[in-house]
Structure 1
């Protein structure tokens, strides 16, 4: 990974080959670098997006990819695997290639598509329809902390959706 972008508004115009987009309310595994290095080798050359965290979907629906160095995913040191994405929701942590960003922008510039659904639902539809080549890290390496009131989703007592995910050893204790 070459780029790190915090926030989303201008992230899709980056010139680096890969950008990592993180929302401002996330926690991540302390050893995320080691875990990513282990699963990154499984990625095909033509990937568009990798979800480092996800919600509201069974991202183990498709079998995990083999790791060329370590073989079957169940033999990985950290038990972190890379799966072809099924229908991930939430955009709190993902990596996006320049090609993937261009593809995503192509569809998001179409007003009826872009304004008829939330961003995560739009991305999920593009994945399900085969327009984006996506993968999900399982279990999530980055989770939403949900410690403050949500300005987007007022369900769950104002703390956003009821989806909660946990880390093995989060930097911030999630």
Structure 2
């Protein structure tokens, strides 16, 4: 309307705005159109009108049409965004990224409490049985109205509790028991998830992922050994070369604690996952099939690994799953399972702390090379580390793209393009 008004108020004779060449061309056009048949009268009139429109007016009209088209497209995009379901998981706040601790190995009660207290605005501290402080985080189904009879809805609206891990002040989520070990624990008696305290975003994502898939697991913090034990160990080495790094000692100590806990709890088998791991969306079905075909004398199973040549290895038997292989060198410990007999062999062969700078993953592979461990792998892996960008440069097989990523499905389900929450 504004543009139309400007054009009307400043109107001038179109002929004054034409150059001599344009006048000649228009005059030739008139002579040419008079020779045409009357059946083309409509076309002739249209061409005449267009030719008489000054150049400036034509540019303005074209610009106006383009603006109208862009405005219409924006309206369509906005309406589609508002119509799509968005997640409303109230426990996740924008402060998750800003609460990362300066050290991934902090185990101080107050520092860790401050980090987890900032997970969401709905978090409240209270006491259970008057003893342990527990923080509850509530989850809301992203599609709005809930059907309370749905198992999935009950899972997502349940309150996840944060309790101190064993004898430490580190509070971690406590997931409910979602059912039998065959499904809820991927065919094992127990699942451990190793959480790096320097990445609270991974903890939040893993909790939501396990909730979505209805997988029960126990979170275990990455912990540094006591200073007295560390000093005594380094003094016992009594050398200055090939000494283990602090990072190596911490990882070794954390995983050896899991081995000892598995032995103390009497678990016949357990799966150990990193908190950064992704998995196939139908991981329960895959793991049930694997456990039906794996030999009963297995020590370790690697459904997730970084091995490059596992596909060239033979199957355990002719009727075994095509993806189940006798392990070659799976390496990487982001997703593996341990049987009871495999656990006993690990505890017998591996000291509580490293005696060299060899990482625990390679130490386990050496036990396999010596024939001390019966190891199996899955090709291609059904677990993969995330984010993939950190591992793409290596080109290892364990970093292949999953068929149906559970993490991607979770992001889609939550609605990553949801409107900003106020």
Q: What is the TM-score of this pair, normalised by structure 1?
A: 0.78
Structure 2 match to 1:91: 333
| Alpha-carbon RMSD | 2.4
Deviation at 1:37, TM superposition (A): 1.2
How do 1:106-125 residues align onto structure 2 when only pairs under 5 Å count? Answer: 106-109=348-351, 115-125=356-366
Deviations 1:147-174 (A, max 9, x none): 68xxxxxxxxxx3562432110011129
How do 1:34-113 residues align onto structure 2 when only pairs under 5 Å count? Answer: 34-66=285-317, 71=319, 73-74=321-322, 81-109=323-351
Structure 2 residues without counterparts, runs of 5 or longer: 1-187, 195-253, 410-422
Q: What is the TM-score of this pair, normalised by structure 2?
A: 0.34
SS in structure 1 at match of 2:408 = coil
SS in structure 2 at match of 1:122 = helix
Structure 2 match to 1:167: 402
Q: Do the aligned partners of 1:108 and 1:114 also contact (CA within 8 Å) in 2?
A: no
Of the three residues 13, 18, 28, the one matched with 2:269 is: 18
Deviation at 1:146, TM superposition (A): 2.8
Question: Using the alignment, how far apart are the partners of 1:17 and 1:54 within structure 2?
Answer: 22
Q: Say whether 1:2 aligns with 2:189.
A: yes
How many corresponding residue pairs? 154
Question: Using the alignment, how far apart are the partners of 1:59 and 1:86 within structure 2?
Answer: 6
- Counterparts in 2 of 1:114 and 1:165: CA distance versus 1, 3 Å: farther
SS in structure 2 at match of 1:101 = helix
Q: Do the aligned partners of 2:315 and 2:325 also contact (CA within 8 Å) in 1?
A: yes
- Counterparts in 2 of 1:56 and 1:137: CA distance versus 1, 3 Å: closer
Deviations 1:66-89 (A, max 9, x none): 47xxx3534xxxxxx210111111
Q: Give the helix-richer structure, 1 or 2.
A: 2
SS in structure 2 at match of 1:41 = helix
Structure 1 residues without counterparts, runs of 5 or longer: 75-80, 149-158
Structure 2 match to 1:145: 386
- Counterparts in 2 of 1:66 and 1:39: CA distance versus 1, 3 Å: farther
- Counterparts in 2 of 1:107 and 1:33: CA distance versus 1, 3 Å: same
Question: Using the alignment, how far apart are the partners of 1:59 and 1:38 within structure 2?
Answer: 19
- Counterparts in 2 of 1:72 and 1:95: CA distance versus 1, 3 Å: closer
